[in-house]
Amino acid sequence: MAIHPIDGRYGRKEVKAIFDEENKLQRLLDVECALAKAHAEVGNIPKEAAKEIERKCSTKYVTVQRVKEIEDQINHDLMAMVKAYSEQCGNAGNYIHLGATSADIMDTSLALQLQDFITFLEKDLLGLRKVLITLADKHKRTVCIGRTHAQHAVPTTYGLKFAIWAEEVQRHVDRLNECKLRILVGQMTGAVGTQAAFGPKAMKIQELTMKYLGLKSVNVSNQVIQRDRHAEFLLLLALVGETLNKICTEIRNLQRTEIDEVAEGFKKGKQVGSSTMPHKRNPIYCERICGLSRIIRADAFAAMDNIPLWHERDLTNSAPERILIPEACILIDYMLAKTIEVMENLEFKPENIKRNLNMTKGLIMAEKIMVTLVEKGMSRQEAHELIRKDSMKVYETGEGFINVLGKDPEVAKYLPKKELEELMKPENYIGTAVEQVEKVVRRLS
């Protein structure tokens, strides 16, 4: 029976499989197998023993059920795995886990799980970047109203919005590439990190074990891989989550009835918006993504508390990480996939975009008029005050801005009617927006 929504409602099965019991056990076996091979290579154990351990390195032989049976008896999950593995390997089983402590196996296997997950995370980020770049290029000349303080400001373009988001996603790709150097590491350092139980060839054993696993070795550690690495990774996931939160918050605002410029795609025919209001078309995916971002952020904060462990180690990080890491990874992948879906099916409403550009009766061009007056010889402060007063008349009388300006003799000294009409066109005041978008598209395509 499902308890956590991840079990059924949220998450893709391929990513959930990375963190399920079966795969987690397999990754533990992989680490034990690599350790045995390293011991054999340096001459610590017979090569035939290592081959037998490798042959039985599968959950076909070492089952989740058997490990749980042993754990019920001894109350130690890692040692239960070691015993279950040893049962399958005959005399070779005597060499399993030689010199290692539990954290060597568990922390290194976690790195293998994260390595698998990062493959999906990279694909997700690059997929989102691609759809944003496509939208940026397509809508680089789609002029819309820009808003500051939730008020109409000056014209901008939808392409510029999408390009800004694409650049932010690229920064997450860059951060991930840097973070991989610190999170995809394993260790074989033994109790309290001295490697004493591994003998004189300890450092070579660690090097070989990680070579077989495709991981880097820690340079130094105590009994656990230091948790600043994991906290950094979860903070990265939280940053990604907040970018998705930002994107989806913007879509939600732009879909408000009073604005209604863009909207989530709505399945024709059968999709239901409300259980009681048949007319509703709600931005449910964007709202879901915004809500789930809170979970990712909370998981990252909790991961920070896993950094200060007592002395060479304690277990206060263990229980939280069994929840935090799978939860954050599964949810961020789900959120990225849903955001891609939202953006690929985003509906644009050109008539409403145009309507909103004209909603303030031309006031959005006040800055342009002020700048032009300065270019023609009026002082900047004088021009600002002049246009401010004329703008206030629009609010007071409801008259169009161009009409108010046309009646102002000070404006008429500098701007004839025909030129004023041309200056009032929003599409003529988007600066370098198109060029900026094209530069981003070239860089990220």
Question: Which residues are catalytically annotated?
Answer: 149, 274
From 51, 188, 180, select the one nearest 109 (Cα to Cα). 188
Q: Alpha helix locations (H) across 187-275?
A: 202-213, 228-254
Tokens in use for 431? Answer: 């600066």
Q: Can you point out the beta strands (E) in 138-276?
A: 143-148, 151-157, 185-186, 216-217, 262-263
Which value, in Å, is the radius of gyration of the alpha carbons in the chain? 30
CA distance to 38, 164, 178, 315, 316, per residue, from 311 (Å): 29, 45, 29, 11, 12
377 by DSSP, 3-state: which?
Answer: coil
In the 8-state DSSP scheme, what is residue 320? H
Tokens in use for 235? Answer: 């903070």
Q: Which residues contact 292 (CB under 8 A, 6 or more apart)?
A: 10, 241, 331, 334, 335
Give burial (CB, 10 Å; 0-12/13-18/19+) of 253.
Answer: middle
- Report the distance separating Cα 47 and Cα 97, nearest Å: 15
- Report the distance separating Cα 36 and Cα 43, nearest Å: 11
With beta carbons less than 8 A apart as the criterion, state whether 209 and 148 touch. no
Mutual orientation of helices 77-88 and 21-41 as an angle, nearest 10°?
60
Positive or negative: CA dihedral 81, 321, 210, 125: positive
Amino acid letter, 344: E
From 254, 68, 237, 280, select the one nearest 147 (Cα to Cα). 254
The number of CA neighbours under 13 Å toward the Cβ of 19 is 22
